[in-house]
Amino acid sequence: MDTHLRWTKRPHRLVRVLVAALGGLSLAFGVTGYAHAEPTPAELEAQIDKKWNEVEPIIEQHNHLKAELNNNKAKQKQLQNQILPLQLQVDNALTRVSAFSVMQFKAGRASSFNALLTTGSPDTFAEQLMMLNMLAKDEQARIKDVLAAKKAYDEQKKPLDELIAQQVEQEAAMAQKEQQINAEIKTLNEMRVRAYGSGNGTGVLKPVACPVEYTGGPGAKAAQTACNQIGKPYVWAAEGPGSFDCSGLTLYAWKAAGYTLRHYTKWQYQDTKRVSRADLKPGDLVFYYSDLHHIGMYVGGGWIVHAPTSGDKVRMKKIDDGPISGYGRVA
């Protein structure tokens, strides 16, 4: 079985973690007020960052699940296409046997067909067919091989069908939680607005030229594309062009440069070459936190562009504003 399929053995634990994280948001902030009276902007930002880091890994797992579900549906369709001609051969064989049985009945020799016509079981059909010496031996061998092949495909498809049913249920549960997540984060963002003011100008989102450095090549193209998205809203699981999440932004920017990334931070880590901090150049990816649940694009001068949190916008920030786990180069 595909190793990716084992991921689904943890659906209920993942949903419980999500509920616990969201419950933590409510306990910390409530619906309408601050956790503490008149927190300073720095205190508020620290609380928002802390709580968002509890939720963002769940969002990235949702991206992972949706990609796995689409992949498994493609496998399911491929198996179904392989099974279909075998099923047609079985149906044609049954039609021939049925016609032959009518002939035998009219001739008064129907007793040997009773078991075949009443069982309805493909698994025993080949054995029964071979007992009927009235059919040619080559027909017996042909239908036996077809049934064996169809049974093999059915055995492969059954666990895949069950897995897809589980993943569909998980994905639906996560989608229902999206509305709750957005409501919680909206409350946090309203607190941020009250603490910092509207902050809608590009001076806040883009405090310096972006990209800071221009080196040419595909990395520079990707960096320029990321810079051009500054000001667009963060939306869970979005990959452009009007909104983005963190791995969706880097996917979109590198797609404009002619390269394909998968929509999941850990996959993007796997699909890139490790580089050192000293060797960074615009277009390189910067991965944050020990579980790699956040990502940004280096644009030079010690700055990255990233899609930070729900309720926020694509913006620049200093590269060291968060624990870095590694750096990756696409091209």
Tell me the per-residue pLDDT of 124-142, one tens digit each, with 9 for 90 and over.
Answer: 555 555 545 555 455 556 6
Query: Can you give the pLDDT at residue 264?
Result: 96
Partners of 298 in the β-ladder: 304
Residue 27 has pLDDT above 50, yes or no: no
Query: Can you give the pLDDT at residue 294?
Result: 96
Percent of the chain with pLDDT over 90: 32
**Distances in Å between the alpha carbon of 285 and those of 39, 262, 296, 319?**
34, 13, 6, 11
Q: Mean of the pLDDT values across residues 242-265?
A: 97
Specify which of 9-18, 36-45, 135-144, 153-162 reaches the highest per-range mean pLDDT: 153-162
Q: Mean of the pLDDT values across residues 269-295?
A: 96
What confidence tier does 25 reach under pLDDT thresholds 50, 70, 90?
Answer: very low
Q: Mean of the pLDDT values across residues 44-68?
A: 74
> Do the bridges between strand 285-288 and strand 324-329 make them parallel or antiparallel, or are there none, so unpaired?
antiparallel
Query: Can you give the pLDDT at residue 91?
Result: 72
CATH code linked to domain 202-329:
3.90.1720.10
The DSSP-derived string for 118-146 is HH--HHHHHHHHHH-TTS-HHHHHHHHHH
Catalytic center residues: 246, 294, 306
| Domains of the chain by residue range | 3-196, 202-329
